[in-house]
Structure 1
């Protein structure tokens, strides 16, 4: 006698789910520590790491404490660190972003010195942390972000970050032509080996909220004039294709969990690696639900990352990178 679910052919998919060993053997997607990248904040003027209230377990670091983070990252075997700087002073053009003694550039040098080639040192290339208006570019007389004037600033920042020791520059401002401008500037300055991570499909998301505290954002208003509309799927693929054509070595989808369709689309078409960023709000939701006893924290973290990998991400930026690497190892 046959049952309706096997059509008389003995087709029983549950056979391969029966034991942990069978499930492990049949797994289609795996996560390795080398596929994880840790975002790290370094703040000027601190004498000790400072907790970020909206991001449990995440700190703003000093130039000394970030060295320990780098050592921990090497020991954990994760792929890299993405550094963000929080300056003590800001101005309209974000002049601290390309100052050789600016906090982010000092942090790049410190981590590079500490980790060498054992860790991929990456830097956020944007202006939002450094401007007194909080936008990702310089403003024109009407108060709008001036795309082409911003590219000039990105070129200067790229050269400074490369000189400081960054191996990968995360070009995250969503300006048209940003990858081509940065690539040309790097090549002409003798940094042809510095890679570009293009934040290609970066959406104007509500899930960036906790990040604003992490970088002490000065933003009023929003970034919908240059970040992507959450309603648009095809546009994410178009942006990625443009960045690849301009010379991006890696393309990014951000946020990750609420844009898995875009991530899958980009991964399907991309000849270069595709990364995804599990942003602050995604992590904060897991932490909040776990703190209330509503979900299993470890299981939720593991499921969230494997889901991002399953959708097509070759690597994932996540605030859980060190912890998850420990579980994996």
Structure 2
């Protein structure tokens, strides 16, 4: 019988020691199950306390070499990076993947100072768009799916090429969770032999006031309920994952 080429590869699921631990059977509450969120701002020397989240601060890239090593010594194994841009924003979130993007700089800094850490990057346009929504909009304010998919794939590719181990599409739209954004990103020309693991970030945390305060990602108008999967919609999630 003629063999059929594999339609996908599993290597991204175990190329990192922490990723391999995630594949083990069963669920436990240990350090390797927890991801530390890092909110990265443009000012490289900044430390900005988040009023709504006591003990949490936004950091500039230069602060990471002091902040992270003690946490790694205490057992931290992975971080999740969120960009908090303070510069110019536009309708397509152009700042999300420019070479001097703070998240891209942070990936390289963390790889240098804490090489054992698994690095995940939030993939969403809302912090970088002038309207604060997760994709590119039609004139009437609704989501324009095709260019949004292409744009988010570009951002995911930029993070992967910078060295991210995981790309996490937190936009949580039906077309993203249904797998359309992920293949779009993987069809992009690959200049690296290593493929990042794709983990779908959940939306409940991102929908809370304190988190939006930390990430400065509240929409300028309307809300995201019209295009994000409901957090408790397990049936919708299962249908999306099966598409």
Q: Match of 1:174?
A: 172
Deviation of 1:48 after TM superposition, in Å, equals 3.1
- Give yes or no for contact 1:169–1:194 (8 Å, CA) kept in 2: yes
Deviation of 1:229 after TM superposition, in Å, equals 2.7
Whole-Å Cα distance in 2 between the matches of residues 191 and 144 of structure 1?
37
Deviation of 1:78 after TM superposition, in Å, equals 2.2
1:68 is the counterpart of 2:61: no
Seen in structure 2, the aligned counterparts of structure 1 residues 29 and 42 have a Cα distance that, compared at 3 Å, is closer
Q: Match of 2:15?
A: none
- Give yes or no for contact 2:40–2:58 (8 Å, CA) kept in 1: yes
Higher fraction of helix: 1
Deviation of 1:207 after TM superposition, in Å, equals 5.0
1:119 is the counterpart of 2:117: yes
- Give yes or no for contact 1:121–1:168 (8 Å, CA) kept in 2: yes
Whole-Å Cα distance in 2 between the matches of residues 216 and 165 of structure 1?
25
- Give yes or no for contact 1:166–1:194 (8 Å, CA) kept in 2: yes
Seen in structure 2, the aligned counterparts of structure 1 residues 172 and 39 have a Cα distance that, compared at 3 Å, is same
- Give yes or no for contact 2:82–2:103 (8 Å, CA) kept in 1: yes
- Give yes or no for contact 1:138–1:146 (8 Å, CA) kept in 2: yes
Q: Match of 2:5?
A: none
Q: Match of 1:235?
A: 236
Seen in structure 2, the aligned counterparts of structure 1 residues 231 and 215 have a Cα distance that, compared at 3 Å, is closer
Where does 1:117-156 land on structure 2 (aligned, <5 Å)? 118-156=116-154
Deviation of 1:60 after TM superposition, in Å, equals 0.4
Whole-Å Cα distance in 2 between the matches of residues 36 and 85 of structure 1?
20
Q: Match of 2:222?
A: 221
Runs of 4+ in 1 over 4 A off after TM superposition: none
Q: Match of 1:53?
A: 51
3-state SS of 1:198 partner: coil
Whole-Å Cα distance in 2 between the matches of residues 128 and 224 of structure 1?
14
Seen in structure 2, the aligned counterparts of structure 1 residues 211 and 238 have a Cα distance that, compared at 3 Å, is same
Where does 1:1-329 land on structure 2 (aligned, <5 Å)? 30-45=28-43, 47-89=45-87, 90-116=89-115, 118-175=116-173, 176=175, 177-185=180-188, 188-199=190-201, 202=203, 208-219=208-219, 220-230=221-231, 232-242=233-243
Question: Could you give the per-residue CA deviations for residues 78-123 of structure 1, whole angstroms, max 9, x where no partner exists?
Answer: 220001111122111111101011111111111122112x110111
Deviation of 1:193 after TM superposition, in Å, equals 2.2
- Give yes or no for contact 2:122–2:168 (8 Å, CA) kept in 1: yes
Deviation of 1:165 after TM superposition, in Å, equals 1.4
Whole-Å Cα distance in 1 between the matches of residues 38 and 118 of structure 2?
13
Give the aligned length: 211
Deviation of 1:212 after TM superposition, in Å, equals 1.3
Deviation of 1:230 after TM superposition, in Å, equals 4.8
- Give yes or no for contact 1:42–1:66 (8 Å, CA) kept in 2: no
Question: Could you give the per-residue CA deviations for residues 150-182 of structure 1, whole angstroms, max 9, x where no partner exists?
Answer: 111112112211121111111111241112212
- Give yes or no for contact 2:90–2:128 (8 Å, CA) kept in 1: yes
Deviation of 1:191 after TM superposition, in Å, equals 5.0
Question: Could you give the per-residue CA deviations for residues 124-152 of structure 1, whole angstroms, max 9, x where no partner exists?
Answer: 11111111111111112222111111111
Question: Could you give the per-residue CA deviations for residues 262-300 of structure 1, whole angstroms, max 9, x where no partner exists?
Answer: xxxxxxxxxxxxxxxxxxxxxxxxxxxxxxxxxxxxxxx
Question: Could you give the per-residue CA deviations for residues 54-84 of structure 1, whole angstroms, max 9, x where no partner exists?
Answer: 1111100011112223313321222200011
Seen in structure 2, the aligned counterparts of structure 1 residues 191 and 143 have a Cα distance that, compared at 3 Å, is farther
* Superposition TM-score, scaled by structure 1 size: 0.59
